[in-house]
Structure 1
Amino acid sequence: MAAEHRRPVEPDAAPTVPHHPALHAATTEQSSVPQAEQHPTEPHPDTSDTDTDTDTDTDTDQPDPNRWKALIICLLGGGIVLLDVSIVNVALQSISSGLTGATPEAVQWILSGYALAFGLLLVPGGRLGDASGRRRMFVIGVGLFTLASALCGFAPNGLVLVIARLVQGLAGGLLTPQVTALIQQLFRGKERGTAFGLFGATVGIATAIGPLVGGLLITAFGTENGWRFVFFVNLPVGLVTILLAFRYLPATAGSERSRKHDFDPVGILLLGAAVVALLLPFVQSEQWKSNAKWWLVVAAVVFAVLFVLWERRYGRTKEPVVDLGLFRRRSFSLGVGLATVYFAGFTPLFFVLTLALQSGLHYSALLAGLASVPFAIGSGIASTVGGRVVHRFGRELIVVGTVLVLIGLGAVIWVVANHYGPDLGWWLVLPLLVAGIGSGLTISPNQTLTLSEVPVQQGGSAGGLIQVGARVGSAIGIAAVGSVFYSTLASSDGDYAQGLPLGLGVSLVFVAAALVAGVVDVVVGKVHGTEASV
């Protein structure tokens, strides 16, 4: 498999995707910066007045000496955002019983509001980082997320908690694209694959371990107030991350600070409207029963068409929020599509499984969280390994990963159908471990290959697009799986042994679609001699 990959593209040295001339000018300016300025041997100075980062670190042969420390900081910041996607799931019962005004509608918005706000700001947040500085946007994102977490923990009623979760989501949307952009900026070649492997491990572990952490906190602090510590746990991590970010994340070179960028406000508004209109009917599918909600999907298509038309016009003379030329690269367009359908299959697993364990089998929050540990272990190990070998195997590695996820999910369905009972958690250990290994060989290698031909200057907005695909996929997957799951429960008098396998069968279809996308890319790449590589 490792044999005849085409020569790896080096976007850091010679961007291959057409984009606005100002970006080329910036690259020329940056190359004139003295090397000593670009690569300090000491930790990056605290330049809080101009704390924007530089793309020059990756435009020379000398890597940033603080890149691995910077990666740890990025993973800390990105990790708390990803943890909050799943940690709240096991806290919903505690919130419902312990918080004034926590109506079913408010509880639903605690989940869906976060998802909506998160998806809304991913691409604009990435663009802001590209234009205004990734360290600056990273620190602002972590700071805002930490403050919102404190507000969540001290919320006196359901309305305040919903508002705080919306702010949390916006902060997460601002922060997340900076992580992928900084990895792309600081690392090259095999090291970049390794770094994205560690990021993928963080994604898998944070998503799977969230229910366990939430269960431990609720067990330790009680059902009535334990949910508050689900949010308080972010505070020390956020504060430490901010302090270290000023020390080790790269600041911009002098020539880059003097550049002016276009922020494309019309494009940002159109894209935001399209994302919200697309996500809202899916994240509110259980509460909003009327079929009228699906008209928002039509509105999303209209906004998306207007966005494309505007970006084409705006991009002729200025820097658009999204360079549509990126989608002419098969590695990027297919990678975004693969991430979308994969997350549609991957994310609902823990949503319905946690419900079945807690509501169906009356597992405690802690035991329900423990059930996800095998997946987290498999995902963490495989992501790290996958990041190290993706340069050898390319997208064939993703094909292997999705096959393992299909096998693992299929085994979960069989186990639930045949061994649904108090010992279900033990029966799920091996299937979830296999699915976790497959997920680790899918997420981080796909991230690495998708961004392999993207110029560093566009890393934030490009990374934001991948995350938008993942968020849209997650929302669609949870809505589709949840619809089958809940309708089966309603028609079978609450028989989780029927509802869970049928719901996860929908997940299986989405993962199979990701497998097909990966196989098509491998076959087309071999036929045309353009196999994706790092």
Structure 2
Amino acid sequence: MSAARTPRPADATASPDDRRRWQALGVGLVAAFMTLLDVSIVNVAVPSMDRALGASPSDLQWVLSGYALTFGLVLVPAGRFGDARGRRTAFVFGIALFTLASALAGLAASPAWLVAARLLQGAAAGLVNPQVTGLIQELFRGPERGRPFGLLGATIGISTAVGPLLGGLLIAIGGEEHGWRWVFFVNVPVGIVAVVLGWRLLPGRRAGPADHRRLDPVGVLLLGLGVLLVLLPLVQQQQWQGRAKWLLVPTGLLALAGFGAWERWYARRRDPLFDLRLFRFRSYALGSLIALVYFGGFTAIFFVFTLYLQNGLGYSALVAGVAITPFALGSAAASALGGRIVNRFGRPLVAVGLLTVVVGLVAVVGALALAPAGAVVPWLTAAPLLVAGLGSGLVIAPNQTLTLSQVPVPQAGSGAGMLQTGQRIGSAAGIAAVGSVFFSSLAGSDGDYGVAFRHSLLLAAAVIALALVAALVDVALGHRR
């Protein structure tokens, strides 16, 4: 508990308690990296899984999207559990479950086995991630949260962008036939170390009335049903044919409206699963909207870029991963800087970052459109992707810092869980929309992957431009006040 009682910034004369909280943060960042990496690292392993297990297209889609689905379902209840019962317990259990699920996925002998392991893996990741954000809220105060949130933002950006590269490396080392198994096995030793260090370093449960708060099972059910109905047709868009699936989206929105009504009623009697009054804070409401929309464009970029490079141009998984690396490097560098200066510049910094991402993506489209025949695409896109990555680093970490700045510590886990749920929904919706444009353009251009990629990338840039509008609204409202 000593780590939670010393909210002084780290410096050259940091006390043992102060060093301990940074060590605890380090464990949390490693866990966040590992769980978020598994969102994208599996993409390049799909062909190997197909050959090894004889999986159908539906099976492979569930391997990719099932993780995101259960991840999104668990976030808010997991954050609430950490708020009420202690983050260390939830974190350690989640990492242990994630490690077990990773081992099971690596040992999979059939497509059904692999899908089940991925669903379990996603649920475990959803249990872990709100605890990391809640830990930052608990161990740090006010402006000093900028640096740890900057490190978390760098972790999010790097893990999302570098996944294909690490996946390609592991497949190259392990071989085309079984290299995909190492994509999962690599989590096992890291997870074991994280369990041990997490139990030693993370603060334990606080004593007091908060320990006895109920977990609002009706709220959990309504939220889970709403998120499931909204996400399911999005993550299964390519495999679930017909338009009937889209009827689930308005049904899910009705369930989410019912969740909101229940939470308002429940809050008058007990602590709710999620306190809707957090949306009265402009920083939380607009920050959550920016995150939802930005992730709708941000994560879709790597999905269509990987398809373009591997399926369209015939590059290997390793080269496709290397091509995305400039974005990851730019994001890492700018995230560290953004975390340090966000308290000085506020939401305008996020707006600048969003504008830079849009400029970088449009530059990618321009470079490809003007490229001569036979040009090496990874070289052409390196500089504009670096620019887009620099912009992304000024978006994710600063926006998370500002969004959660007014959230009370007892609600840090559920507040972060709702923020990340929006990111998961945005990611699924973005991949569905941008992927739809990609495949329709591919069909309409006689299989021209270059045209399909440029059209889909422009849509991703337009989505991110909508997030820029939301950021500018927040800046304007701030100036008016």
TM tier, smaller:
over 0.9
Offset at residue 191 of structure 1 (A): 2.2
Report whether the alignment pairs 1:89 with 2:52. no
Question: 1:72 — aligned with what?
Answer: 26
The 5 Å alignment of 1:121-520 reads 121-255=74-208, 259-419=211-371, 421=374, 423-520=376-473
Q: Partners of 1:113 and 1:65 in 2: how far apart?
A: 38
1:190–1:388 CA contact under 8 A, matched in 2: no
Larger CA deviation: 181-190 vs 342-351: 181-190
2:8–2:140 CA contact under 8 A, matched in 1: no
Q: Quick one: structure 1 residues 434 and 97, their matched pair in 2 at CA, closer, same or farther if it must change by over 3 Å?
A: same
Offset at residue 344 of structure 1 (A): 0.5
Deviations, residues 5-60 of structure 1 (Å, cap 9, x unaligned): xxxxxxxxxxxxxxxxxxxxxxxxxxxxxxxxx537xxxxxxxxxxxxx6x66599
1:138–1:174 CA contact under 8 A, matched in 2: yes
Q: Which ranges of 4 or more aligned residues in structure 1 deviate by more than 3 Å?
A: 56-60, 62-65, 253-257
Q: Partners of 1:64 and 1:137 in 2: how far apart?
A: 23
User: Between Structure 1 and Structure 2, how many residues are aligned?
Assistant: 475
Q: Name the SS for the 2:256 alignment partner.
A: helix
2:298–2:460 CA contact under 8 A, matched in 1: yes
The 5 Å alignment of 1:93-104 reads 93-100=47-54, 102-104=55-57
Deviations, residues 193-234 of structure 1 (Å, cap 9, x unaligned): 000000000001111111000000111111110100011111
Offset at residue 497 of structure 1 (A): 1.1
Q: Name the SS for the 1:453 alignment partner.
A: coil
1:64–1:186 CA contact under 8 A, matched in 2: no
Q: Partners of 1:73 and 1:215 in 2: how far apart?
A: 26
Deviations, residues 238-297 of structure 1 (Å, cap 9, x unaligned): 11111111111111344468x311110000000000001001111111111211011101
Offset at residue 153 of structure 1 (A): 0.2
Q: Partners of 1:57 and 1:114 in 2: how far apart?
A: 37
Q: Quick one: structure 1 residues 180 and 421, their matched pair in 2 at CA, closer, same or farther if it must change by over 3 Å?
A: farther
Q: Partners of 1:59 and 1:199 in 2: how far apart?
A: 19
Offset at residue 305 of structure 1 (A): 1.3
Amino acid at match of 1:423: V
Offset at residue 492 of structure 1 (A): 1.6
Q: Partners of 2:188 and 2:94 in 1: how far apart?
A: 13
Q: Partners of 2:440 and 2:140 in 1: how far apart?
A: 48
Q: Name the SS for the 1:243 alignment partner.
A: helix
Q: Partners of 2:272 and 2:398 in 1: how far apart?
A: 28
What stretches of structure 2 of length at least 5 have no aligned partner? 10-14
Offset at residue 177 of structure 1 (A): 0.5
Q: Partners of 1:412 and 1:122 in 2: how far apart?
A: 34
Question: 1:39 — aligned with what?
Answer: 2
Amino acid at match of 1:202: T
Deviations, residues 144-173 of structure 1 (Å, cap 9, x unaligned): 000000000000011100000000010011
1:128–1:137 CA contact under 8 A, matched in 2: yes
What stretches of structure 1 of length at least 5 have no aligned partner? 1-37, 41-53, 529-534
Q: Name the SS for the 1:212 alignment partner.
A: helix
Amino acid at match of 1:429: A
RMSD: 1.7
Q: Partners of 2:386 and 2:374 in 1: how far apart?
A: 20
Q: Partners of 1:185 and 1:523 in 2: how far apart?
A: 31
Q: Name the SS for the 1:428 alignment partner.
A: helix
2:85–2:205 CA contact under 8 A, matched in 1: no
Offset at residue 64 of structure 1 (A): 4.5
Offset at residue 418 of structure 1 (A): 2.7
Deviations, residues 108-162 of structure 1 (Å, cap 9, x unaligned): 0001111110000000110011011101100011110000000000000111000
Deviations, residues 374-424 of structure 1 (Å, cap 9, x unaligned): 011100010000000001000010011001100111011112223274500
